[in-house]
Amino acid sequence: MKSFFDKLAGSKQGAIGFLILAALILVVFPLTLDAFRLNMVGKYLTYAFVAVGLVLCWGYGGILSLGQGIFFGLGGYCMAMFLKLEASDPESTRIQSTPGIPDFMDWNQLTELPLFWEPFHSFGFTLLAVVAVPVLLAFIVGLAMFKRRVGDVYFSIVTQAIAAILTILIIGQQGLTGGVNGITDLRTLMGWDIRSHEAKTVLYFVGAFLLLACILIGRFILASKLGRLLMAMRDKEERVRFSGYDVASFKIFVFCVAAAFSGIGGALFTLQVGFMSPSFVGIVPSIEMVIFAAVGGRMSLLGAVYGALLVNYGKTVFSESFPELWLYFMGGLFIAVVMYFPNGLAGLYQSHGRKWLARLGRWRPKARRAEPVAARPAPSSTPEPTSPALETTP
């Protein structure tokens, strides 16, 4: 019988893969990158939360959500509202016609804080809302869709529509949401200046630890009976239903988990980048997030993190030189992944990387034949993603 900790670590290979990722983001990046680059990686890692959630709900659950930006945005906006309220104390807003409310509200002739902003004075409430608001919306959408057996491509279209609606709503309600500019000019978190390099480094580590925690939660889910049920539902939904399971409730659950991860990612994004705007909510960012998961490997929790890092790094490098071509390149990348490597980088590692490593292992002892020490197998250390789950799924 598997113990709780075995479930978290997965197989030996899974544990190694996890430790390599942890070492990479907790030690290698902080030691080798300057503060600016590290902050950039920190921003990429906030997208990785969404990608990890997509591995659960798309890779394993078969639910392709093209609207994860909704939840990323909701988490981000919740955090931004708290920070904005803190930045809008009566002293620093004394030149406004109504001091003490966020500046964009004043510009829009609002004279008092809207009611739904009030609870965001509390940091505790905000932390709760970062997870609860996305989960609540995911629950409502899931309930409405999955109970009626809306699935596959129809579900994807509905999520896109919701992403579009939410963007329009945020942009249209300028006085309540900051409109197209978003919520900007965020300064302190409980008096702590989040704009300094030190603060950004601390926030980077907070994000990194939370991401690793989300991966462990994901592993726990996948190692449980619920994880096997997700795969069973994806392949033989009727059989699962007629084995006595309420299929919809499992789909709602995994969709809510993905939404929770996305919300946490969004809140960290706001903290790291210092603003939140509707450009992270809509259809285009939502699809980009799916591409991160697809490139990394939709069946691999660790792969999704590498996917988010690599695609975003590519985006930064590529869009600096050829800003117009980036979107075409991104589209091409997605098509290539879907057509030629459906399991992404993690799949490539499974099919080619391992063999290559094994060959490396055989080659090494030969080179040191003179040494009397028995040949040891090559250390399977590699920055490539590894997934224990892939072994059960071709």
Which parts of this chain interact with another protein (CB under 8 A)? 1-2, 221, 224-226, 228-229, 231-232, 235-236, 238-247, 249-250, 253, 392-394
Cβ nearer to another protein, comparing 122 with 249:
249
- Rounded to the nearest angstrom, the gap between the alpha carbon of residue 281 and the centroid of all alpha carbons in its chain is 13
**Residue 71: CB minimum distance to another protein, A:** 19
Which residue, 25 or 390, has its beta carbon nearer to another protein?
390
State the maximum Cα–Cα separation within the chain, in Å, rounded to a whole number: 84
Q: What is the dihedral of CA 58, 63, 68, 70, to 10 degrees?
A: -170
Q: Which is nearer to another protein, 55 or 276 (CB)?
A: 55
Q: How far apart are CA 392 and CA 394, in angstroms?
A: 7
Query: Is 290 within 8 Å of 47 (Cβ atoms)?
Result: no
Q: How far is the CB of 202 from another protein (least distance, A)?
A: 33
Minimum gap (Å) between residue 145 Cβ and another protein: 17
Count of CB atoms situated within 10 Å of the CB of 351: 12
372 φ, ψ to 5°? -75, -20
CB of 1 to another protein, least distance (A): 6
Handedness of CA 314, 317, 321, 323 (dihedral sign): positive
Between residues 87 and 136, which has the closer beta carbon with respect to another protein? Answer: 136
CB of 220 to another protein, least distance (A): 8
CA nearest to 292, candidates 327, 347, 326, 333: 333
Nearer to another protein, 225 or 376 (CB): 225
